[in-house]
Amino acid sequence: MDFRLDDTLEAMKLNVRNIVKNECLPLEKQYLSTPPETYSYGGHELPGGLAEERLSFGNLPLDQWKRLEKISKEAGIFTMHVPEEYGGGGTGALGHIVVDEEVRRSIVGLPIAEVPVMMYGSSTQEQVDRYILPCVRGEKGYAFAQTEPQAGSDPGGMMQTRAISDGSDWILDGTKMFCTGGGTADFLLVQAVTDTNKRQHGGVTMFIVDKNMSGLSFAPIQTWIYPGKAHQYFVYLDGVRIPKENILGDIGQGFLLGQKWLVHQDRLLRGSMALGIMTRALEMAVDWAKTRITFGKPIAERQAIQWMLTDVYVDIMALRDMTRHTAWRADRGEDVRVECSMIKYCAGEWGWRSIDKIMQIFGGLGETMDMPIPHWYHSLRHARVGGGTSEIHKFVMARGLLQGRIAWEG
């Protein structure tokens, strides 16, 4: 078996790595010294629509973001992961995670089109024109609204947001919580119960809610991850009237569409997010260990430091192998829901323990906010909670094992 990337993906990976090295890394000092509220980008806190996992406190002037976006588009990176029928490069899940890992090496994220994967293949032509294509062009951003105050880990069974048919329209009432980028998105993809008996088994429908619809309001949620500027929101739906044209897919299939998004965006991509951070952080730590002198010799010569470095290296290699293999299987049309829970679990747990070791190697310097390390620490600690806690994903894996839905014998 040949586990190497093919020539096309390898060339794309190296191209993105060079662009990130030459264009993004030099901007990190400016980015981290700029308050996040100083600039905005197309109405969003950060480029590309969603602010997911960009848990740092900096920003850049708008012209810098636009310049990076132009570079990304001209290099064919901006839409490389988008299916060809929507004007993208069609690299699939494997191509997406390979490029995403390279992008995540810098705290200044090279802009990539954020397109809701649950809309692929389930949208009408009107929805393609109004929502998908503007996202592909980087003109619109979206947010996914599933979590509720009493429906986090069990959204299907506990979801309270309702959609009631009223002629040809639907009336939405309810509250969503921890909606990433909800207050700045151009439209939301909202799950609502349309059959209380069926719920997640054919009783949840996905609605496209434009930000200017009457009855829609937001309230920011302050967390330790984003001090001073909210990226998470409450979403209040008070009699929001939705035309039937804004139903995504079939009535009752909204929970499945949400799972499609979660499996790719909130689980598989957490693997590449963690890998990009861990790889860059390890490079920084190796360089530091070679040059930092204590008691007459570099700390690289001390076994305590060597063991921490090798622990991070092992985590990187194991996580990269399982992430790429799972993405490859996803591109073959296989059911990888349990495996993506495994990746999400490992990205959070291994990523967090790795960045903790990196911070320890740097000592006090690793806690300074003008370095990427404490910002990455936020991202990887949050990865143990956001998108389902580590404990929930262990439950998903256990269920897959006990039901015989996954193989592990080799």
pLDDT higher than threshold 70 for residue 49? no
CATH for 256-402? 1.20.140.10
Token output for 158: 């506990």
Tell me if the domain spanning 7-136 has CATH number 3.40.190.10: no
The pLDDT of 49-56, averaged and rounded, is 43
Q: How far apart are CA 143 and CA 110, in angstroms?
A: 20
Q: Which residue has the higher pLDDT, 53 or 207?
A: 207
Q: What is the pLDDT of residues 373-408, one digit of tens each?
A: 999 998 999 999 988 999 999 999 999 999 988 877
The pairing of beta strand 142-145 with beta strand 187-193: parallel
pLDDT of residue 38: 53
- In the structure, what pLDDT confidence band is assigned to residue 56 with cuts at 50, 70 and 90? low
Alpha-carbon separation of residue 87 from 13, 74, 82, 103 (angstroms):
20, 14, 7, 21
Range 154-181 average pLDDT: 93
CATH number of 142-252: 2.40.110.10
Q: Is the pLDDT of residue 335 over 80?
A: yes
How far is the C-alpha of 16 from the C-alpha of 76, rounded, in Å?
10
Q: At 232, list the tokens.
A: 């998470």
H helix runs in 7-91, sequence order: 7-19, 28-32, 62-74
**Contact at 8 Å (CB) between 404 and 295?**
no
Q: How far apart are CA 288 and CA 293, in angstroms?
A: 9
Single-letter amino acid, residue 258: G
Domain boundaries, the chain: 7-136, 142-252, 256-402
What global pTM score does this model have? 0.93
Burial class (CB in 10 A: 0-12, 13-18, 19+), 174: buried
Sign of CA dihedral 276, 265, 61, 373: negative
